[in-house]
């Protein structure tokens, strides 16, 4: 089951997009759960990081799709975002909010199917990345894209995700090989997901509104890794 959000103020356009999704799902034996939001502002205010894919209109009242995308990236850097618009000129601006693709209005079925196949392939590759931990007597698979940072707490690790904090036995060394290149140690106590870095100021880094200290011996390595990450866009 794929959780999809459609943010579109025009009910007719929203219905057309949902019909395209339903048709594609039926033809390809897939299951989509689609939630429609007629206001970008309401979507952001009520946002929960349980969506796999977001389709966002751009021209909307109160809060535009581009403004909503910028707000979204402050709370969820990993979710796949696709703009649905008749304004091709927004393509360049979309790079700043890490939009994966664009779908042009009016929607053409053939072009939509080609785009959606590529989009779902990307979503699938994102969804497969999980880290399995033991917490609270059960085994949990944490989606990598939802992990903001990992914190050492004695013999335990606190996994700070978008939704909550998980606690497991372990050390940073023991999980090092499980984490992808988007993660980087900034001290003996913290490994951060660079997707969620909003700023680096002096010896501190802001990760999802949490200020974390960068250890002196880790600073050069982190700054280099972060610069490469930003250039590579991974």
Is the separation of the CB atoms in 99 and 72 below 8 Å? no
Q: Which residues contact 83 (CB under 8 A, 6 or more apart)?
A: 55, 56, 57, 58, 65, 69, 90, 94, 99, 101, 102, 103
Query: pLDDT digit string (tens) for 67-98?
Result: 999 999 888 878 899 999 887 666 667 777 88
Mean pLDDT of the chain: 90
Is the separation of the CB atoms in 206 and 213 below 8 Å? no
Q: Quote the CATH superfamily of domain 130-232.
A: LytTr DNA-binding domain (2.40.50.1020)
Is the separation of the CB atoms in 37 and 18 below 8 Å? no
Full pLDDT tens readout for the chain, 234 residues:
889 999 999 999 999 999 999 999 999 999 999 999 999 999 999 987 778 999 999 999 999 999 999 999 888 878 899 999 887 666 667 777 889 999 999 999 999 999 999 999 998 876 657 788 999 888 888 888 889 999 999 999 999 998 789 999 999 888 888 888 899 999 999 999 998 998 999 999 999 889 999 999 999 999 999 999 887 654
Domain boundaries, the chain: 2-127, 130-232
Structure tokens at 208: 């999802």
Q: Quote the CATH superfamily of domain 2-127.
A: Response regulator (3.40.50.2300)
Alpha carbon of 67 to those of 8, 41, 60, 64, 135: distances in Å?
14, 9, 10, 5, 37
- Predicted TM-score (pTM) of this structure: 0.64
């Amino acid at each position: 089951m794929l959780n999809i959000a459609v943010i579109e103020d025009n009910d007719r356009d929203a219905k057309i997009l949902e019909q395209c999704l339903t048709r594609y799902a039926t033809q390809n034996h897939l299951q989509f759960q689609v939630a429609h939001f007629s206001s970008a502002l309401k979507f952001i205010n009520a946002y929960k990081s349980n969506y796999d894919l977001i389709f966002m209109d751009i021209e909307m009242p109160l809060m535009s799709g581009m403004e909503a995308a910028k707000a979204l990236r402050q709370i969820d850097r990993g979710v796949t975002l696709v703009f649905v618009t008749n304004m091709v000129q927004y393509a360049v601006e979309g790079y700043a909010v890490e939009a994966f693709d664009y779908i042009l209005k009016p929607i053409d079925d053939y072009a939509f199917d080609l785009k959606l196949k590529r989009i779902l392939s990307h979503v699938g590759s994102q969804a497969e990345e999980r880290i399995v931990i033991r917490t609270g007597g059960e085994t949990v698979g944490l989606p990598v894209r939802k992990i903001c940072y990992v914190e050492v707490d004695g013999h335990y690790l606190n996994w700070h995700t978008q939704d909550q904090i998980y606690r497991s036995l372990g050390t940073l060394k023991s999980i090092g090989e499980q984490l992808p290149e988007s993660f980087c140690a900034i001290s003996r106590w913290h490994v951060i997901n660079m997707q969620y870095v909003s700023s680096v100021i002096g010896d501190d880094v802001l990760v999802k509104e949490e200020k974390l200290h960068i250890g002196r011996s880790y600073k050069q390595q982190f700054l280099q890794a972060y610069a490469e990450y930003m250039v590579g866009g991974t």
